[in-house]
Amino acid sequence: MSNPQQLRYSKEHEWLSAAEDGVATVGITEFAANALGDVVYAQLPEVGSTVTAGESCGELESTKSVSDLYSPVTGEITEINEDVVDDPSLVNSAPFEGGWLFKVRVTEEPSDLLSADEYAAHTTG
């Protein structure tokens, strides 16, 4: 399992792209997608709503369980991935590409986000 080096990661298994014009993209990692199993439903935060770093902002339902979705940053939701709402399996098949979940205008970023190597160590040890 290879975590893209340009992303940052939360200990709750979300990834975060670098902010472009203040807006970052968020998804769940391949590790989390594999642990969940086949995702069959995605409840994502509403556009315009505010999310807080480390707090639940939606959920993913799989054939195995229901899992909370946590925001890795604080900010305002600017877009959700409608493709994932229509086809939640994208979370499993392309977690770092087409399976992204939402975009957020970042107002606060916690200092404890991990690099790809730190996240790999977190998930193996």
Q: Which residues of 9-20 are buried (b: 16+ CB within 10 A; e: fewer)?
A: bbebbbbbbebe
Question: Both tokens of residue 86?
Answer: 């229509």
Contacts of 47 (CB under 8 A, 6+ apart): 77, 78, 79, 80
* pLDDT tens figures, 64-114: 899 999 999 999 999 999 999 999 999 999 999 999 999 999 999 999 999
Residue pair 19/113 in contact (Cβ under 8 Å)? The answer is no
Q: What is the pLDDT of residues 26-46, one digit of tens each?
A: 999 999 999 999 999 999 999
